[in-house]
Amino acid sequence: MTHFFNRLLTSLSVLAGVIVIGFVLIQVAPADPAAVRAGGSATAEEIAEIREEMGLNKPVVVQLGLYVWRLAHLDLGRSMISSQPVADEISATVGPTVELMLASVIWSIPLAIALGVVAAYRRGRFVDRLVMLVSVCGVSLPVFWVGMLLIQTVGGAGWLPYLGRGGPLWTLEGLAAIALPAITLGSVLIGPVARITRTAVIETLGSDYVRTARAKGAGEARILVRHALRNALLPIVTLVGLQVGNLLGGAVVTEQIFSWPGIGRMAVSAIFSSDFPLAQGAILVTAVGFLIINLVVDLLYASLDPRGSKQ
Amino acid sequence: MSAVPVTNPVAEPVPQGLLRRIASDRLLVLWLVLAVVILLLGLLGPWIAPHDPYETQMRIARHTPGWTSPDGVTYWLGTDVQGRDILSRVLHGLGATLGISLGSVALGSGLGMVLGILAAYYRRLTAPIMRVADVLLSFPAILFGLSLSALMGPGLASLFIALSASCVAGMVRVARSAALVVTKQDYMEAGRSIGFGDFYLITRYLLPNCSSMLLIYATLQLGHTILLASLLSFLGLGPAPPFAELGSMAADGRKYLEIFPHVSTVPTLVIFLVVLVINLLGDALRDAFDPRLRA
């Protein structure tokens, strides 16, 4: 419980840091937020009125307080380019990014764990070396290369689409469109997860309880899954938790390559078009999402480790 | 560090043992030699590049690797979309990518090392330093890169700061746990009882005894940092074009992927090979010297 409390405290500090970054971003924006909010046809008096209303004439500390107050009410300001509310623009992009990340994780983590278990079981044999080779190549591969290769080969041959989102995932078009981006992003996880699984399973395979299970006459498959893998899950979950940041970085690039309408692509384009409120919103929302995922991983960890939950 | 076995019989016992151990591991020697070659190529790139990496010649644009121009000049890795020699750009870009990554690992890991050792040596500092490291660790590098680019504008400075920051937290943790082991050794106590000051103890006793572990971890960080650097500059968050950097070169050719795949593929392949060699070197070093770090 103390551990979880500490984690929560850390998350809150990160959140505070991100909020300050967001606030500074709004402050350095060359455009007057009041003028943006008022719209193009507003008179100087109307803008002054909105300035007062938004508290832009108050001291910086008060403005920071007002900023936090607005954030708490999900008011992220307005885009300087489309003058639409940032919250609306972002909410349209969160879905596709979550979709892409889930689609990548759903195939890559089970595959990587299976590879790691097989490598550990056949330790030192050909299969093990092959898996380790794939894994070290996997961690050395720039994610954009995987995407570009897939576009060149599968996309170029016209087998699967590689530009944009095809629609909801329950339609054939939607599934076809997410296939290449999900393969690309998932490839980021294969190397590290296969590797940690192998190390962890090798360790548990050498333990006394595995020997006991063998002595009882348990089948090899049961030993591997119920005894070796089950106990190896803790380090694997920890590593997957640490990989979420990598996955996020990979997602930004993958969205860029495949023109996937996600939040990462929006953040990058907002930065290049100097749309400060939009960039601020995208960074804030992504950071909050990241913190939530981390907390979930922590809870998962606690539920997997009976030693931790008893304390 | 050289891979040549020491022949001098009166050499210091510790370095000799170190070099012997390196020399006895053939794979480690191979990765070390390759890493040195890559480093030299990066360092000497501007001098050995056959052409000007920034000179655009539209009449020779988009030729495949190995193409020889009518004037009899061979472009070993082909030319890019604007008719620049890809080999020369890769050689310049390799230096830039390595320089940025090495510099930020040196800065970030160096800072992490100092903080980690301080956290281990002074109990009072443990909690605050580790809390800061935790906070840094839960701030993904990509978000830091995006935030800095938004604040300062995309460019070399924001890329460098983001990469350095991404190295700090991991190193703080590794350095602290390595230093904690050393602080419990008898020779630290002995040094203290003779009356050595903290600074002397840390620099002469503590640091040398955990330096190999820290160096190995920094090597592993380097591979990761190069990937991150190329990823950020692929997004355009690095030095502005036409600056030759491997990640941005890969991004340059992206639009012509189907027609001229080599424009993107060549720099990407170079990134992959460099990171691969550094990762293999880091793994081999770790296996040889520090089994505790094994992931």
pLDDT, average across residues B203-218? 87
Helix or strand holding residue B75 (H, E): strand B74-75
Residue with more model confidence, A214 or A103: A103
Q: What is the pLDDT of residue B290?
A: 62
Tens-place pLDDT, residues B77-114: 888 877 788 888 889 989 999 999 999 999 999 999 99
Per-residue DSSP letters for A99-162? HHHHHHHHHHHHHHHHHHHHHHHTTTSHHHHHHHHHHHHHHHS-HHHHHHHHIIIIITTTSS--
What ipTM was assigned to the predicted interfaces of this complex?
A: 0.84
B234 Cβ under 8 Å from any chain A Cβ: yes
In one-letter notation, the amino acid at residue A150 is: L
Give every CB contact of residue B180 below 8 A, 6+ residues apart in sequence: B120
Inter-chain touch A142–B234, beta carbons under 8 Å: yes
pLDDT, average across residues A115-125? 90
Inter-chain touch B272–A294, beta carbons under 8 Å: no
Q: Using CA atoms, how far apart are residues A257 and B40, in angstroms rounded to an integer?
A: 32
Residue with more model confidence, A53 or B176: B176
Q: Using CA atoms, how far apart are residues B20 and B288, in angstroms rounded to an integer?
A: 11
Nearest to B276 among A11, A136, A250 (CB): A136
Contacts of A14 in chain B (CB under 8 A): 135, 138-139
Residue with more model confidence, B168 or A10: B168
CA quadruple A30, A32, A36, A37: dihedral, nearest 10? 140
Highest mean pLDDT among B176-185, B191-200, B224-233, B285-294: B224-233
Helix (H, G, I), strand (E, B) or coil at B10: coil
Tens-place pLDDT, residues A30-82: 667 777 777 767 788 888 888 887 777 788 888 888 888 888 888 888 888 88
Name the closest residue on chain A to residue B223, using Cα atoms: A140
Mutate to test the interface with B, among A140, A244, A297 (most CBs of B within 10 A): A140
Name the closest residue on chain B to residue A21, using Cα atoms: B147
Q: What is the pLDDT of residue B263?
A: 85
pLDDT, average across residues A113-132? 91
pLDDT beyond 50 at B15: no
* Least trusted range by pLDDT, from A199-203, B49-53, B290-294: B290-294
- Mean pLDDT score across all residues of chain A: 86
- Mean pLDDT score across all residues of chain B: 84
Share above pLDDT 70 across residues of chain A, in percent, rounded to a whole number: 96
Q: What is the pLDDT of residue B13?
A: 42
pLDDT, average across residues A129-145? 91
* Least trusted range by pLDDT, from A261-270, A283-292, B132-141: B132-141
